[in-house]
Amino acid sequence: MPGFTPARRWQPPYYPFKREPFGTRVLESVERVVKGPMFGCRMCGNCLLQETAFICPMECPKGERNGPCGGSTTEYCYVDKTRPCVWYKIYDRAFRMGRQEMLLEVLPPLDWDKTGGETWADVYHQIQKVGGKNFFGGLLSGDAEKRSTAWSSVFRPVRQPEWWNGDANYHPPAYTEPVSNLEKRLKAGEFVVTAEVAPPMTVATNKLLKNIEIVKPYVAAINFTDCPSASPRMSSWACSTITIQAGAEPVMQIAARDRTRIGLQAEVLGSNALGVRNILCLSGDSMEMSSVPKGKMDILDMDSVHMLWILRRMRDEAIYMDGRQIKFPPKYFLGAAGSPFASDPRIQAIREHKKVNAGAQFFQTNLVYDPDGLDDWLEALEKRGILEKVYILIGITPLKSLKVAKYMNEEVPGVTIPEKLVKRMEAAGDKAEEEGVQIALELIDSVKNKKGVNGIHLMAVGWEEIVPRIITEAGILPPDFTPPAAPPPKA
Ligand code: SF4
């Protein structure tokens, strides 16, 4: 049991990819046997312990290096219920130590060339560089600022390589004219509605096109998920392109789970050239949710915060992740998932704050069934001063049946449906569909005037025909709404 971490080292440590000199191997072995029992260290070679309240985040089975995923709970990790969510432990200890603001710094993804290598030598060389007297003198000083400067002079260069250069600051977009219809409407102060259309599980596009036509007049943009529940579907990129051809605007969702850093950068350049202007960055559901055989369950190449940081810099600084210049940089409006009911609002608020600093301009939230609980999250965001920096669209899903309600409550990470709503669905019997619509209308009514709420994200997955009715009856039709030539199919 490691001395300073909440649990054992769940996954084995990394070893270097290349043969190293004998002396280096000895040092690595010593570091491995010391830091493993103490911190659960996995020898990622890019040590973040100083920023993560001395708990190694590499215990996280998704390899999240910037905070908890949307499925996290205060009790356990959603991927493996036998272990705690390491990020909850990190935040909990950081709050107790008064180090929580350090968690805002955008930490880098792994440099796989260093994985398995020791980091003590890096620290030693950095101390030599700044001078032992300056470093230790600063640390022993009675002045908190001097202590912090001395600490940063050694540990910041170790954890923040030049190619990443992460920080804890807000970086406003380096452009003023909206790049998409969605951004234009939000900037104009319109109450915006987006809708999710399920990507097909075949190559046939007739149902996809039909669903796009159903929702198109009613929404500012249409979202396409990227293989939710870690199950293959038509790619978000292909669905987005088909949507543009059909005269509507897509929000292309990208899950870090299925991307390498090279693949991500290539994909956004390609999709941007094809006209995609809204991108939603997600870490993605764990492979644990997929069918067998399960894919790679361990550390991902990037998390959603990494994606935002990389994409924002590609757009605003015209550089690739490795620092090379992009002659004609991409233009897009960047979004991220907001998780009002994951972990704890004050923890989640730091996580959302970090996403905004990294580049998120809008949030589409996980499903909301408890408007009062949403207030806690919004208040926590307001306290951090980020409501003015990000647009928030609240996730609403009409419940089609009692079975769906129970499934979402029990199986979908980060979703909680209050008991009273489940009981209403049960009591409705064969009128459950209508009850689900009424619940959705009530939810929209109770969230639409909340401070910080800029719109609704309707996720009527597999029930797209209901979207026109809900938007019409909720009184949130777009200002330039033109009724479709033919009435939408009856829901
Ligand atoms: S709940 Fe999410 S963030 Fe927490 S340890 Fe599990 S996978 Fe990682």
Atom 6 in ligand 1: residue holding the nearest Cα: 77
Query: How high is the pLDDT of residue 1?
Result: 46
CB neighbours (10 Å) of residue 17?
Answer: 12
Site to probe by mutation for ligand 1, drawn from 42, 52, 64, 366 as the one with most ligand atoms within 8 Å of Cβ, is: 64
Contact 312, 335 (CB under 8 A): no
Q: Whole-model pTM? A: 0.95
- List C-alpha distances in Å: 396 to 369, 370, 412: 8, 11, 14
Cross-strand partners of 364: 337, 393
pLDDT at position 3 over 70: no
Q: Which residues line ligand 1 (CB under 6 A)?
A: 60-62, 64, 68-69, 71-72, 77-79, 85-87
Mean pLDDT of 247-268: 97
Q: What is the pLDDT of residues 93-123, one digit of tens each?
A: 999 999 999 999 999 999 999 999 988 888 9
What ligand 1 atom has the least distance to the C-alpha of 63?
A: 8
Query: How high is the pLDDT of residue 444?
Result: 98
Q: How far is the CA of 88 from the centre of ligand 1 (A)?
A: 8
Contact 151, 159 (CB under 8 A): no
- List C-alpha distances in Å: 76 to 80, 81, 88, 456: 8, 5, 9, 30
Site to probe by mutation for ligand 1, drawn from 10, 58, 72, 88 as the one with most ligand atoms within 8 Å of Cβ, is: 72
Site to probe by mutation for ligand 1, drawn from 8, 62, 74, 76 as the one with most ligand atoms within 8 Å of Cβ, is: 62
What ligand 1 atom has the least distance to the C-alpha of 86?
A: 5
Q: How far is the CA of 76 from the centre of ligand 1 (A)?
A: 8
Which of 159-163, 176-180, 318-322, 355-359 is the least confident region?
A: 159-163
Q: What is the pLDDT of residues 374-393, one digit of tens each?
A: 999 999 999 999 999 999 99
Name the nearest CA neighbour of 70 among 408, 343, 261, 432.
343
Contact 350, 91 (CB under 8 A): yes
Site to probe by mutation for ligand 1, drawn from 10, 52, 87 as the one with most ligand atoms within 8 Å of Cβ, is: 87
What ligand 1 atom has the least distance to the C-alpha of 62?
A: 7
Q: What pLDDT band is residue 331 in, cutting at 50, 70 and 90?
A: very high
Contact 297, 61 (CB under 8 A): yes
Q: What is the pLDDT of residues 45-59, one digit of tens each?
A: 988 888 898 888 988
Distance of CA 117 to the CA centre of its chain: 29
Please list the alpha-helical segments (H only) found in 317-448: 345-358, 371-383, 402-411, 419-428, 432-447
One-letter amino acid for residue 204 of the chain = A
pLDDT at position 229 over 60: yes
Q: What pLDDT band is residue 6 in, cutting at 50, 70 and 90?
A: low
Across the chain, what does the average pLDDT equal?
A: 93
Mean pLDDT of 72-98: 89
- List C-alpha distances in Å: 68 to 86, 119, 231, 352, 369: 8, 25, 22, 10, 21
pLDDT at position 188 over 50: yes
Q: What percent of the chain has pLDDT over 70?
A: 97
Name the packing angle between helices 86-97 and 345-358 (round to 10°): 100
Query: How high is the pLDDT of residue 9?
Result: 66
What ligand 1 atom has the least distance to the C-alpha of 67?
A: 3
What ligand 1 atom has the least distance to the C-alpha of 59?
A: 5
